[in-house]
Amino acid sequence: RAGHTAIADPAESTAGSVTLALAGGPASLDFTRTDGVAIPLVLMGNVYEGLVRINESGGLDPLLAEDWTVSDDRRTYTFTLRQGVAFSNGAPFDAESAVFSIERVRSDAWTNGLSAGMDVVASVTAEDTHVLRVELSEPSNRWLWSMGTLIGAMMTEDGVDELATAPVGTGPFTVDRWARGQSLRFAANKDYWGEPAASDSVTVQYYADATASTNALQAGDVDAVYDMQSPELATVLERDDDLVIETGATSGTVLLSMNNRVAPFDDLRVRQAVMYAVDRQAVIDTAWGGFGDDSGGAPAPPTDPWYVESSRYPHDPQAARELLREAGQEDLHITFKVPTRPYAQQISEIVASQLRDVGIVAAIESVEFPALWLDEVFTRHDYQMSVIVHAEARDIPVLYGNPDYYLGYDDERTRELLARADRESPQTQTELMRAAVDRIVDQAASDTLFVFPNIVVRRRGLQGLPSRRPTDELLLSAVTNRGDPSQEDQAQEDGS
């Protein structure tokens, strides 16, 4: 229930409890029907669990499935499920609930677009109380991996009535208190099947304003800021001996998108000129306080196995100008539709300035996010250039494998490489993906300005808060305030 916050809302901070600050809270807890990473970020792994878990290096670990086998044609998966697991409402977890969960993703109950990841499933059956068999219509490496993301969340039939406010899962926490848009308090699940949570309760406090969250940290109102959105403040916070700053890579990439279908970006040379014109490191330095990894413009984040830093486009305004001259676009005016998000607005200022250096005048137009941006840019493709974070993990096939996507990138070769990467054995997958990424970079489909960093600022005493985030999941089970500040390693401060 979104209780009566005006009068009463316990956002507790008793012993054994931790308070974290996060940016922009979700409006609902139901990710089956609502888009956005905010919900899975705090619910996956904490309240919901999947059959498998994506580990820090991007690989898969068993979770609710103790083990699984894959048939030779790589279309049939047989999972052996963990015994003695129960949902927080008391319902047992078994193959039936797994079937229910997967079927539900394929039904109308799920409106979230990500449910398309389950389309490849041909059938799902409970072989035994704890044996689950899934048949795919064609081999897919991504399917198993995506079972570690939100669409693989295991639910129980009698726990899906109030997904928006009272989610029920098998995880180490239950939702204790939910004040929409403001805070979300988790209580440790007493009957958790595995290692119990390190803290009795963890409260996530949401801050729409980045400065406000660090203010709260400095004033001692929260124990850590996760995914800090005002990296400029790091310099100030660094001076505080009581605070530790860590950064980790995420799966999010900041994409300078160019509409490949319309002029002038239907011309490869113009796109490449932009790649040369933009000094990605300067963007990182000015717009995001020097945090974030430069992938050389490649869309793959370091959390992916196929990550390689590209050196295809160094900052070279001269090369950019030449390409523009070749393309006959020496006096180029474009509109730059920037969503109303601080990072995007900040990036747009420096990018526009750099583009001006090579003779591209970018008129910035603020576009309300999400409503208008989704409508104009994403759905109707009515734009020339935009900038947005793509937070979804492993979304390269979505972005570049579909010519109808808003990027409008239509390349036969890329599509073929991506399809093979999904189909062929996991061993060749990495190589094929690398080839695909190379191709995308070469074609300058879009410029990945930087890989979005997860900046975590915490009090010295707070421990167990991971900073690296290969997928949209913030594991809270190890987070605790009980750590002894004096034993902390000073070196950890550096983060990177």
30 touches another protein (CB under 8 A): yes
Distance CA 96, CA 84 (A): 14
Distance CA 326, CA 10 (A): 64
Instruction: Tell me how many residues contact another protein (CB under 8 A).
Output: 78
Interacting residue with another protein among 253, 259, 310, 348 (CB under 8 A): 348
User: What tokens does 395 get?
Assistant: 């979304």
57 touches another protein (CB under 8 A): no
Interacting residue with another protein among 131, 374, 419, 478 (CB under 8 A): 374
219 touches another protein (CB under 8 A): yes
Distance CA 148, CA 320 (A): 42
216 touches another protein (CB under 8 A): yes
Residue among 164 and 436 whose Cβ is closer to another protein: 164
Residue among 76 and 218 whose Cβ is closer to another protein: 218
Interacting residue with another protein among 55, 89, 137, 211 (CB under 8 A): 211
We find the least distance from the C-beta atom of residue 133 to another protein, in angstroms, to be 27
We find the least distance from the C-beta atom of residue 453 to another protein, in angstroms, to be 16
71 touches another protein (CB under 8 A): no
Interacting residue with another protein among 96, 103, 176, 232 (CB under 8 A): 232
We find the least distance from the C-beta atom of residue 482 to another protein, in angstroms, to be 23
- Give the DSSP H/E element, type plus range, for residue 5: none
We find the least distance from the C-beta atom of residue 28 to another protein, in angstroms, to be 5
Residue whose pair of structure tokens reads 């747009």 in the numeric block: 348
Q: How many other C-beta atoms can be found within 10 angstroms of the C-beta atom of residue 328?
A: 12
Distance CA 479, CA 430 (A): 33
Residue among 10 and 59 whose Cβ is closer to another protein: 10
Q: For the chain, what is the largest distance between any 2 Cα atoms, rounded to a whole number of angstroms?
A: 69
Whether 301 and 307 have beta carbons less than 8 Å apart is answered as yes
Interacting residue with another protein among 95, 114, 300, 358 (CB under 8 A): 114
Task: Using alpha carbons, select from 310, 157, 146, 247 the residue that is nearest to residue 492.
Answer: 247
35 touches another protein (CB under 8 A): yes
Q: Give the contacts of 236 (CB within 8 A, at least 6 positions apart).
A: none
Q: How many other C-beta atoms can be found within 10 angstroms of the C-beta atom of residue 314?
A: 12
Interacting residue with another protein among 352, 358, 437, 465 (CB under 8 A): 352
Amino acid identity of 32?
T
Residue among 114 and 168 whose Cβ is closer to another protein: 114
Distance CA 134, CA 355 (A): 51
Whether 167 and 175 have beta carbons less than 8 Å apart is answered as yes
Residues 385-424 that bind another protein (CB under 8 A): 398
Whether 222 and 38 have beta carbons less than 8 Å apart is answered as no
Residue among 97 and 203 whose Cβ is closer to another protein: 203
325 touches another protein (CB under 8 A): no
User: What tokens does 265 get?
Assistant: 């970006």
We find the least distance from the C-beta atom of residue 422 to another protein, in angstroms, to be 17
Residue among 147 and 338 whose Cβ is closer to another protein: 338
Distance CA 116, CA 169 (A): 22
Residue among 151 and 197 whose Cβ is closer to another protein: 151
> What Rg value do the Cα atoms of the chain yield, rounded?
23
Residue among 76 and 182 whose Cβ is closer to another protein: 182
Residues 264-293 that bind another protein (CB under 8 A): 279, 282, 285-287
We find the least distance from the C-beta atom of residue 343 to another protein, in angstroms, to be 12
Residues 157-196 that bind another protein (CB under 8 A): 164-165, 179-182
Whether 210 and 457 have beta carbons less than 8 Å apart is answered as no
We find the least distance from the C-beta atom of residue 91 to another protein, in angstroms, to be 23
We find the least distance from the C-beta atom of residue 9 to another protein, in angstroms, to be 4
Interacting residue with another protein among 366, 403, 430, 495 (CB under 8 A): 366
DSSP string covering 128-192, please? ETTEEEEEESS--HHHHHHTTSGGG----GGG-TTTTT----SSSEEEEEEETTTEEEEEE-TT-
Residue among 218 and 430 whose Cβ is closer to another protein: 218
Amino acid identity of 59?
G
Beta bridge partners of 367: 339
Residues 432-471 that bind another protein (CB under 8 A): none
Distance CA 381, CA 344 (A): 18
∠ CA 364-369-371, nearest 5°, is: 120
Residue among 352 and 462 whose Cβ is closer to another protein: 352
Residue among 118 and 198 whose Cβ is closer to another protein: 118
Note the Cα 381 to chain centre separation in Å: 23
We find the least distance from the C-beta atom of residue 345 to another protein, in angstroms, to be 5
Tell me, residue by residue from 3 to 22, as one string, x for binding to another protein by CB under 8 A and - for no binding.
-xxxxxxxx-----------
